[in-house]
Amino acid sequence: MDDVQKRLLEEVADLHKIPVGAYNIRANGKLEGRATTENINIVTKEDKPGIDIFVKDGTVNESLHIPVILSQSGLEDLVYNDFHIGDNCNVTIIAGCGIHNGGDKSSRHDGIHTFYIGDNSKVKYVEKHYGEGDGSGENIMNPTTIINLGKDSYMEMETVQIKGVDSTVRDSKAVVGDGSTLIIKEKIMTHGKQKAETNFKVDLNGMDCSCDVISRSVAKDASHQRFCSEINGNNKCMGHTECDAIIMDDASVSAIPEITANCIDASLIHEAAIGKIAGEQLIKLMTLGLTEKEAEEQIVNGFLK
């Protein structure tokens, strides 16, 4: 692996060396390295690009890294990754995609991740998207996440896109079962002429299930973001969606929440707030000795932390 690829790996997966536990590293559309453990197996799909991951019942405190890196300009990569997670598990999955595009052609990665999570399991899923490169070619990422949560399970999805992705459409769909909880935390920062679109659709089908979809974003320069979250309460359930965005310069942000209660015992809330950085926040930090620009950076970094 060359230096550019190593740096991408560091950015998207905080990996400085070969990770502990199971991993599958995909570089420029090919398998770069893989390790399995007694409880976590990774198998290459035969009918289409991608992998099947099998986590045995009762697997606790194990981690899985599946980063994808693209350093070859103009490459279009599509993968289907399916996660089959058993009952009574507690695992952390770190995915992510880093693109370095030094050329003038678009580089594109579309990852379609499907989760089948059993009963009484806990999954933390972290996904980080990062792009760089001095070429004029665009970095495009369109991740799709499909989540099927069983009974009394818990999934926390953390999705972060801070830098360098020119265009993204992020679709996430979830079906939540009896007693299960789904937490989604999204953080996005766009700059230049970037476009980011996020669509969440959660079906709260189970008795006493819940979800919390939280998006925090910063749109700078002439970038545009669009956030749609749809929550359907089809049983006795609790659902909450929140979009909080800071706009700067000539950026624009749309937030479109849609909550539907199809059951008398469904309790759903949506909140959305978009605005520029409050003047008094800047002033407060300036009275501590920061310049206006430094104050702005602190506020943005804190907001997206």
Partner 1 sequence: MIELKNVSYSVNDDNNNVDIINDVSLTIDERFVAITGPNGGGKSTLAKLIAGIIKPTKGNIYLDGKDITDASITERANLGISYAFQQPVRFKGITVMDLIKLAAGKDISVNGACDYLSQVGLCARDYINREVNASLSGGELKRIEIAMALARSTKLTVFDEPEAGIDLWSFQNLIEVFEKMHEKINGSIIIISHQERILDIADKIVVISDGKIAAQGTKEEILPEVLKGTGNCKFYDKKEC
- Which positions lie near partner 1, rule CB under 8 A? 216, 244, 278, 280-281, 283-292, 298-299, 301-305
Least distance to partner 1 from the beta carbon of 186, Å? 14
**Collapsed DSSP state (helix, strand, coil) of residue 9:** helix
Nearer to partner 1, 105 or 163 (CB): 163
Nearer to partner 1, 264 or 288 (CB): 288
CB 137 within 8 A of CB 165: no
Least distance to partner 1 from the beta carbon of 285, Å? 7
Nearer to partner 1, 173 or 216 (CB): 216
**Collapsed DSSP state (helix, strand, coil) of residue 303:** helix
Nearer to partner 1, 204 or 299 (CB): 299
Least distance to partner 1 from the beta carbon of 197, Å? 23
**Collapsed DSSP state (helix, strand, coil) of residue 3:** helix
Distance, in Å, from the CA atom of 120 to the CA atom of 89, rounded to the nearest integer, reads 7
Work out the widest C-alpha separation in the chain, in whole angstroms.
61
**Beta pairing, strands 22-27 & 90-100:** unpaired
Least distance to partner 1 from the beta carbon of 289, Å? 4
Distance, in Å, from the CA atom of 203 to the CA atom of 175, rounded to the nearest integer, reads 5
Nearer to partner 1, 166 or 242 (CB): 242
Handedness of CA 168, 34, 85, 89 (dihedral sign): negative
Distance, in Å, from the CA atom of 38 to the CA atom of 259, rounded to the nearest integer, reads 42
Nearer to partner 1, 185 or 226 (CB): 185
Least distance to partner 1 from the beta carbon of 301, Å? 8
Least distance to partner 1 from the beta carbon of 253, Å? 16
CA distances 154 to 70, 92, 182, 218, Å, are: 32, 12, 6, 28
Q: Which amino acid is at 109?
A: H
